[in-house]
Amino acid sequence: MPDAPSVGVVGATGAVGTVTLELLAARGFDRVRVFASARSAGRQLGPLTVEEATPEALARGDVDVFLFSVGTGASRELVPHAVEGGAVAIDKSAAYRLEPGIPLVVPEVNGGRAVEGGRIVANPNCCTIPLTCVLKPLHDAAGLVRVRVATYQSVSGAGKDGMDELFAQTKAVYTTGDIEAKKFPRRIAFNLIPHIDVFMEDGYTKEEWKMMMETKKILDPAIRLTATCVRVPVFIGHSEAVNIEFADPISADEARNILRNAPGCIVIDKREDGGYATPYEVAGEDATYISRIREDATVENGLAMWVVSDNLRKGAALNAVQIAECLDSRKLISAKKKAA
């Protein structure tokens, strides 16, 4: 990519960081540096050497844009230092998503918002991103009134430790070994856990609250939305069962046609065995897949549908890279010269 900005990936050794590096290489970013915790410093990621993500290193001013794939606490500590050094910070954690004045961006939905505010752009939750890609064109067409969504979230949403725990527990089931639950509150192998993040006073979990608040911020604060978030024994790919009530009439055929033409969306909706998307097929894919679009006869102007996406790609890494591309195309990331 001619005059590509220099990119720093913070949290490069994690599950999302690994996918971020793959996407940056595939999309022409050839000036990349990688950062992680002290215990990973010095490790090789292909030709790249991992640097320790210290405040001093990020504030040095020799990187144009940082993509943060770390926890909320680490983002709150490190992002201000990256901005202090003159970089744009695109953060994938929950640290800044609901902060007033900080844009919360899904490029296919509200890409223009990326240019607002200061030098921090927030990346939404891994289930909010595909949900808003689907809801935005339908909202434009018929006006969303109420949305009910149940998510079925893979263990990779909890990082490498979550994937390792599912693998270890599954192996233990077949070898009659001990099953230990460390990352998740209950056994995840051959089970479902209706609990992601911490519980709040009203009985919702923080994950459910994030989906509700983020969707309102991105689309429309007047939308009523309720969510139930469930962890499932799938390695990669988040799924959502979505039920929508609209202000105006809209048929399943109309919705299907709208979504076929929506950016970042692919409709696979054959009313036959296997005529729908599942997490297994969409792993490694960039699009949001929509299936089982049908009218809900229990409410006026209602539709139900099934939504699936790769949470490590569109749900996290790809969305952040697309934000960087949006900013770069508007010349809001000033490429610095390579350090001698």
- Helix %, strand %, coil % of the chain (to 5): 35, 25, 40
Q: What is the pTM of this model?
A: 0.94
- Residues with Cβ within 8 Å of residue 128, at least 6 apart in sequence: 106, 210, 211, 214, 215, 218
Does 103 reside within a domain? yes
Does 304 reside within a domain? yes
Same domain? 242 vs 102: no
* pLDDT (0 to 100) of residue 238: 98
Is residue 120 scored above 50 in pLDDT? yes
Query: pLDDT tens across 282-332, in order?
Result: 999 999 999 999 999 999 999 999 999 999 999 999 999 999 999 998 888
Tokens for 132, please give them: 């808003």
Q: Active-site residue numbers?
A: 126, 238
Query: How many angstroms separate the CA atoms of 256 and 260, rounded?
Result: 6
Provide mean pLDDT across the span 71-100.
96
Query: pLDDT tens across 1-40, in order?
Result: 557 899 999 999 999 999 999 999 999 999 999 999 999 9
Does 2 reside within a domain? no
Question: What domain range includes position 201?
Answer: 128-154+192-310
Does 161 reside within a domain? no
* pLDDT (0 to 100) of residue 338: 41
Cβ proximity of 113 and 330 under 8 Å: no
Same domain? 148 vs 82: no
Cβ proximity of 79 and 91 under 8 Å: yes
Provide mean pLDDT across the span 149-157.
97
- Residues with Cβ within 8 Å of residue 244, at least 6 apart in sequence: 135, 138, 144, 146, 147, 148, 302, 303, 304, 305
Mean of all residue pLDDT scores within the chain = 95
CATH number of 15's domain: 3.40.50.720
Same domain? 249 vs 288: yes
Same domain? 145 vs 246: yes
Query: How many angstroms separate the CA atoms of 136 and 110, rounded?
Result: 9
Does 117 reside within a domain? yes
Q: In this structure, is the dihedral angle defined by the CA atoms of residues 21, 121, 313 and 206, taken in order, positive or negative?
A: positive
Number of domains in the chain: 2
